[in-house]
Structure 1
Amino acid sequence: MRRILRLMLTAAGPYAPQFRRTLRISVAASLVQAAAYASFVPLLAELTHEPVDTGRAWLWTGVLAVLVVVEGALRVRELGFTYGYWHLVTEATRLRLGERLRAIPQQELARRAAGDLTSVVGANATAAATAVSTLSTLFVQLVTVPVVLGLMVVLLDWRLGLVLAAAVGAALPLVRRVQRSSNAGFHAVDEADARTASRIVEYVQGQPVFRATGQSGAGSPRLKEVLAHQHHIQSAANRSAAVPLAAAQLLVRLALVALVAVGAALVLDARLSPGLLVAVVVTAARFAEPLSMAAVMTKLFEMSEAALARVDEVLRLPSLPVEPGGTEPKGFELRFEQVTFGYDGQERPTLREFDLTVPERGLTALVGPSGSGKTTVTRLMARYADPQHGTVRLGGTDLRTLEPDELLRHIAVVFQDVYLLDDTIRANIAMARPDATDEEVEAAARAANVHEFVDRLPQRYGTRVGEIGSALSGGERQRISIARAILKDAPVVLLDEPTAALDSESELVVQQAVERLVAGRTVVVIAHRLSTVVGADQIVVVEEGRVTQRGTHTELLAEPDGRYARMWAAQRTARRWQLPASSARGAVQRPGESGGGRPSAASNSTG
């Protein structure tokens, strides 16, 4: 419980002082409750005494009534936290998790499945708040009342106290066994639940692929496998605790029977009064009830501990470090100095002793084969992670000395795969500047050629775009992302080939929007179609994590044996590619069969 209490205090966050105060109130209420049960002893002793002393009987009745009222008042204050702060603790926990996810390196964030983090921020945060607001006070009551009542039974008659002590000694190992099995079991269950949540997110988002490959529905292999694993883990967790749980409850019942038997023998032997026996049995029953419940509640506590531990794990993830000595960038030139960077688990680094200078207010294009390190370069510019060796600078300032928010204030990013929120077009554009006016949002939309299609929509800028922008075409989504970048008005722009997946008509409109975005800014663009960057101030060829060529389009074509010239020739050849004649007639050619048409020149191209 010390471990769980520490986790509860962590989960309580800003409400930890109120949580501590509630625990103190719960202890006081439990002590008063135990005293109320203890007052039954003299009351029953008086009622079974001949003759009955009416005055003393009423006195103890009054004491019992006062204790019940005091306990009720304390419980009301206790419930004030349970019901008044539960939603506040839940909200605060989720906000702190969100802040932590914002502060950790993006590389760490990318390692974690979306469904896993959804489970932590959703179900685990709720379970953690429930543990703080409800289970904590219940645990105090389950421990405090039996301890006080057990001591009272020992004081009343040591022989009956020994019976209870023997029962506790026999039951506690079983409770501990339930605890250990539940602890391991519920951690496994929680991991299985997180894995299932991730697979369900994948299943929902990947429906087009699953349907096209015949793996949708109840027979989906990926979904079926993870659900079967979850069922197995849940069943194993429940079975492991079932026998010791039943044994512990049986021991408690047998202890009560033994207590009555020993007490009856003492009464028959005239060494214990019947009234005292009745009082002890009532007290022992109240003592045994929490002990019996403890075996059952252990599962709930361990379930909560698993949720608390997962929340705590995320809250303890280290923030992206900021080194001292940072200064405001003097201009917006980007420079890589002997940078070496490798992703976790990678044998060879993606970038090796990488040197590059991106001039201020110039357009630099990164080209090269897939996997050469182009995207990694732009990620390091936005401080996705820090290089293992070397330095990345903006305006002469080491990025590691800049606060992440300060760095990203200077950078706008337009990705090839656009992510839009399930919100209005206005809200998606205004993400770049939440305080922007409607006029400023519309001006950015006009500059990005968004206004022309928005104006045709019934709700115009109030139109919802659907999950991940599913209600819009690829070109429309891309234009909204460019409008977002224009509204941000950052001096540095990173572009990951924003036109690669578009048709010719959409490509032209998006290119016009990009031209307005990059004007007068420091621009780095990852280019797959070389024809889109022939006018770049410098084209940098990246191969196997190094810069192998640098120059203008004309200068690079002047090196006929260079990688750039070969890529340019391959892409020009690929544009002349056409389907073989047999395919045009509708025939399906199987792999290995000889087709009637001649292979095109592009069939052996690596472009």
Structure 2
Amino acid sequence: MLPRPLEGLSYALLVPVLRALFGGTPADVWPWLTAFGAAVAAYAVLRYVSDLSGFRVGTTLLRGIYRRLGDHLAWLPLGWYGTSRVGEVSVLAGRGVMQAMSVIAHLLAPFVSACVTPLTIVVVMFAFDRRMGLATLAAAPVVAAIQIWTGRATAAADAERHERDKEAGGRVVEYLQAQPVLRAGGRTGECFRLLDDSLLEARRASRRTVLATLPGAVGLTLAGQAVFTGLLVLGAYLALGGDIGAAEVLTILVLAARCADPLLSLSDIGGQLRIANAELARLDTLLRTRPLPEPREPVRPEHHDLRFESVTFRHGDRTVLQDLSLSVPEGQTLAVVGPSGAGKSTLLQLLARFHDVDGGAVRVGGVDVRAISSEVLTERIAIVFQDVYLFDGTIEENVRLGRPGAGDAEVRAAARAARLDEVVERLPGGWAANVGEGGALLSGGERQRVSIARALLKDAPVVLLDEVTSALDPVNEAAVHQGIERLTAGRTVVMVAHRLRTVRRADRIAFLDGYRIVEEGGHDELLRRGGRYAGFWNADRDGVTQAAAGGLPAR
């Protein structure tokens, strides 16, 4: 704020400078000109210091916001991260936070200048001639009305653009994830229509936002021109009447012209501030999203049997599980099978407390998972997903995520048990080989071996397996199966399987359909019953036979 009055002082010094120049002794201008130059130099220094301070504050806040956002996202339950969240979080964490924090670093000083500079000039005008000051001040309501009208007109366009940008971000991620499918189908040269449509809608939304702000910019320009013309006419009239000197009129016209730039910049700055404010509101909404509540007096389970007691769970308006009861004795393996969309993976997510149930209870060792602290529950459970994500680093670093404090011998033992040592031996660099972002430099089977080695290193008493061999080639499938056998030995295991032949060795099998368990028992027992499981088993066996007869790899 300090440079703004100094800027007004430099404007006020124009009057004695011009009076001296137009007077009888032009040499008297030097003291005033020196003072004017000193004021301008001081203003430049203070403006530099002010802008630098704003930039430093902005970067400090940006660093703090990113840290807080990262910490908050780490505490949100994994069930919160639906497919629609990917585009939203990526847009917000990328461009959104930068736009919000740029207000302090880049927009705050220009905004203050655009508001304070015209007011300072009006005060200077009042000091020399009240009538000219009043004439200039009359434009203030017009400028304020244009700004308010522009803000209301662009609010809807800004919101639409955000939605389109979020959708486009999600489509980009989807397009990248769909590359294997597109390439397998020979569509590498084709456009992904959903992505094209979302990008086209985002461009149209941006165009509508620009068009919405255009009337405001034109209105401010016309208002500035009208005020300058009015001052020119009024100044000429007063000067001809002898009520004011030519120096004062010229100074006031120079000041009026100086008002034009900050007033015109208000339209652009106002639009950026509205966008930043909207991003701050979205950021606030995200940061206000509550993680699952932690127990005030957490209980540590002594045993590791699992039990679902009349569990009901809804995802939005859709009922996924209803009044489901199921138990897994400690040290045994339960396989969950059923049609797609029956809620098999949801069972694992509820055990790991990605979500809280809407009714009933999920218990580990007889203790409701809601009464167990997140840290303790995470320690007790190892999860191997179908789609394995690896961080951009070495193989050893990704394995050590299972237990960062493990020794080298323990890491190597886990790798051998998962047959990951075979992968390490053939990779250039061995344990120091980089896996790429998401593990892109490894095959699906190799990534799965890393995941199993990580779970083995963690040595958790409860293991959850989610379709871990559904998309592997025979060689990797055999290696992964060996790793899974070692991982599950002596542990309580719940596995979701698409290939029914992988569940034969499970102690018990539960067939899930229609929100609940419809069949439960051993493999041979369920086949003798001739129910839903037997039908699925026969269909799966027929599919394998047909694939083998046609020379295709079995499912």
Match of 1:463 among 410, 418, 433: 433
**Are residues 1:577 and 2:551 paired?**
no
Flag the 1:67–1:398 CA change in 2: closer, same or farther, 3 A: farther
TM-score norm. by structure 2 comes to 0.90
1:493 to 443, 454, 463: 463
Match of 1:563 in 2: 532
Q: Which amino acid aligns with 1:441?
A: V
Residue 59 (structure 1) shift: 6.2
Q: 1:570 offset after TM fit, Å?
A: 4.1
Q: Percent identity?
A: 36
Residue 115 of structure 1 corresponds to 87
Matching residue of 1:254: 226
2:332 equivalent in structure 1: 362
Change (3 A) 1:98 1:32: same
Q: Residues 171 and 83 from structure 1, CA distance in 2 versus in 1: closer, same or farther, beyond 3 angstroms?
A: closer
Aligned counterpart for 1:512 among listed residues 474, 479, 482: 482
Out of 6, 11, 14, the residue aligned to residue 40 of structure 1 is 14
Q: Using a 3 Å threshold, how does the CA distance of structure 1 residues 168 and 201 change in structure 2: closer, same or farther?
A: same
2:275 matched to which residue of 1? 303
**How do 1:123-522 residues align onto structure 2 when only pairs under 5 Å count?**
123-211=95-183, 216-217=188-189, 219-346=191-318, 349-522=319-492
Residues 1:579 and 1:318: Cα distance change in structure 2 (over 3 Å): same
Q: Match of 1:471, SS?
A: coil
TM-score relative to the length of structure 1: 0.83
Q: 1:551 aligns with which of 518, 521, 537?
A: 521
SS of the residue 2:545 aligns to: coil
Match of 1:13 in 2: none
Which amino acid is the alignment partner of residue 576 of structure 1? T
Structure 2 counterpart of 1:417, one-letter code: D
CA change 1:291–1:384 in 2 (3 A) is: same
Single out whichever of 478-487 and 467-476 deviates more from structure 2.
467-476
Residue 454 of structure 1, CA deviation: 1.2
1:309 maps to a residue whose letter is: A
* Runs of 5+ unmatched residues, structure 1: 1-26, 587-606
Tell me whether 261-270 or 128-137 shows the greater mean CA deviation: 128-137
1:36-115 to 2 correspondences below 5 Å: 36-45=10-19, 48=22, 54=28, 64=36, 67-115=39-87
For 2:266 and 2:55, the matched residues in 1 are separated by: 23
1:190 deviation in Å? 2.7
Q: Does structure 2 retain, via aligned residues, the 8 Å contact 1:449–1:509?
A: yes
SS in 2 for 1:272: coil
Deviation at 1:95, TM superposition (A): 2.9
Matching residue's letter, 2:427: L
Give how far 1:576 is off. 3.2
Q: CA deviation at 1:412?
A: 0.9
SS at match of 1:576: helix
Per-residue displacement from partner, 1:411-456 (whole Å, max 9, x unpaired)? 1100122222343222222222344444433222112110022112
Distance across 2 between alignment mates of 1:499 and 1:519: 18
509-518 or 530-539: which moved more? 530-539
The question of whether the paired residues in 1 share the 8 Å contact of 2:56 and 2:105 is answered with no
Matched, 1:539 2:539: no
Partners of 2:160 and 2:185 in 1: how far apart?
32
TM-fit CA distance, 1:341: 0.3
CA 1:244 to 1:126, structure 2 compared with 1: closer, same or farther past 3 Å? closer
Maintained 8 Å contact 1:371/1:544: no
1:325-365 Cα distance to aligned partner (Å, 9 max, x none): 3222222222222110011131xx21111112222222222
Residues 475, 510 of structure 1: 8 Å contact kept: yes
Asked if the contact 1:45/1:279 (under 8 Å) is kept, the reply is no
**In structure 2, the residue corresponding to 1:159 is in which secondary structure?**
helix
Number of equivalent positions: 554
What is the aligned-residue RMSD (CA, Å)? 3.0
**Deviations for 1:65-84, whole angstroms, at most 9, x for unmatched residues?**
55445534433432333443
64-73 vs 225-234, which deviates more?
A: 64-73
Q: Which amino acid aligns with 1:468?
A: G
- Alignment partners' CA distance in 1, 2:165 and 2:284: 17
Runs of 5+ consecutive residues of structure 2 not aligned to the other structure: none
The answer (yes or no) to whether the contact 1:49–1:275 under 8 Å persists in 2 is no
